[in-house]
Amino acid sequence: MITRRHILCALRRPFSLQQAIDDAARRGGGTVHIPSGRHPVASINLRSNVSLFLDNGAVLDMNPRDDAFFAPETFPYNPHADNDTSLFRPALFYGEGLENLSIHGFGVIEANRRGSGGPKPIALRRCRRVSIRGIKIQHAGNYAISLLGCRDVEIDGVTIANSYKDGIDPDCCQNVRIANCFIESVNDAICLKSSPALGEKVLTENITVTNCTLRTASIHLKCGTESYGGFRNITFSNCTLEGGMGLRHGNPGIALYAVDGGSLEGVAISNITMHNVGTPLALRHGARGRGPLSPQPGRFVGVTLSNIVARAAHFPSLLSGLPNALLEDVSLSNIQLHQTHPGQPSGQPVPELPTAYPDPAAFGPLPASVLYVRHARGLRLRDLVFRPAEGDSRPVLVTEDVTD
């Protein structure tokens, strides 16, 4: 029901959507209703206490020219991150320092990109109490939903189709729930970050991802690569992962990377099925050290993976710490890993590559056909089913420098 505090937006003239949002904000808040039809749009400033409702048949048709959107911001500090991670103003829906905002409904954001680059459909920095529900975003050239320093966020029932960059990226965020989403992307589907883009060290924590279907040429469920602030209390559950689009960065199903000095602590991953991915499991401690300092590696401790099925995988899974920074207390239980692409040992030692990007494919052929683990302490393995590819002569499991 539309109340007196709700604003109707017919979008009959240029910039009327911005005007309707501003009018609602001046009245203390409300809902802007975007009706059925195709509506040309460029950058919009969101406001606190204002919701947007995209009705059935509503299409927000993003301007195909990048210069139609807000100009990139400048920083009084070095964000030590690429433009996709640090820039937020070049976006369709841009918000900073807002609270109590919502974008929901049944409509579509048509980003009108046919390759990587351009504005983000939704970009929010330092916002609180955010809800994004039900909408569809397609043909995004940049992160479809980009969050930096946000708290208390719900993303539910969102579809992201034909995205050329990441699907959903919570960076330096707390208390985020992502549920019931379908994401199809060339780059990472769901990527948690803790980058230096805020100019300070911020932990990403209390994140839940559940009941999602992810399809990507890159990484499906990911913590890192940007890991300066670290990760804590992360749960991935009840997700279906589908490969077959490509093998970028080894195309992992699950990737947990702590390579920039932050710690990764308390991660639980359960009830995951994946098919035709590159690398089912990729856990990596490194010392790339992206950030204002070159810190020593943090801790990588307390990771539980259970009830996981990976079929038709291309590459072995990799769990690799460093000699001076072990993976600690990692547990694998009730896991089935089935390989269909045989490989052969190289006869060479596996390189450490501590400062490199943590691409599991960069290590070359591994000595195991299904699971390779090194530099770990407190490893627990229980109820595992390993099926190597036909013709692969390597042992299914190889461990090096694994204690306790």
CA distance 310 to 189: 17
Evaluate the omega torsion of the peptide bond into residue 273 and state whether it is cis, within 30 degrees of 0: no
Name, in order, each residue with C-beta under 8 angstroms of 127's C-beta and a sequence gap of 6 or more. Answer: 95, 96, 97, 98, 99, 101, 147, 150, 151, 153
Structure tokens at 245: 């689009």
CA–CA distance, 225 with 360 (Å, rounded to integer): 12
DSSP at 139:
S
pLDDT tens, residue by residue, 238-281:
999 999 999 999 999 999 999 999 999 999 999 999 999 999 99
**Taking a C-beta distance cutoff of 8 angstroms, is the pair 55, 33 a contact?**
yes
C-beta of residue 392 within 8 angstroms of C-beta of residue 342 = yes
How many Å apart are CA 379 and CA 320, to the nearest integer?
12
Q: How many CB atoms lie within 10 A of CB 384?
A: 16
Centroid of chain to Cα 241: 13
Contacts of 21 (CB under 8 A, 6+ apart): 32, 44, 45, 46, 47, 50, 52
pLDDT one-digit tens code per residue, 35-88: 999 999 999 999 999 999 999 999 999 999 999 999 999 999 999 999 999 999
Q: What is the pLDDT of residue 295?
A: 67
Residue 364 — left, alpha, or beta (φ > 0 → left; ψ -120 to 50 → alpha)? left
Nearest to 175 by CA among 145, 142, 147: 147
Asked whether the beta carbons of 72 and 83 are under 8 A apart, the reply is yes
For 53, the 3-state DSSP assignment is strand
- pLDDT value, residue 345: 84
Residues of the chain short of pLDDT 70, as ranges, are 1-15, 294-295
Count helices and strands in the chain by DSSP H and E runs: 2, 32
Among candidates 229, 240, 402, which has minimal Cα distance to 307? 240
Give the DSSP per-residue string, 197-259: TTSS---EEEEEEES-EEEESS-SEEEEEEESS-EEEEEEEEEEEE--S--GGG-EEEEEEE-
Residue 320 · residue 285 · CB < 8 Å: yes
Buried b (16+ CB within 10 A) or exposed e, 25-51: beeebbbbbbbeeebebbbbbbbbbbb
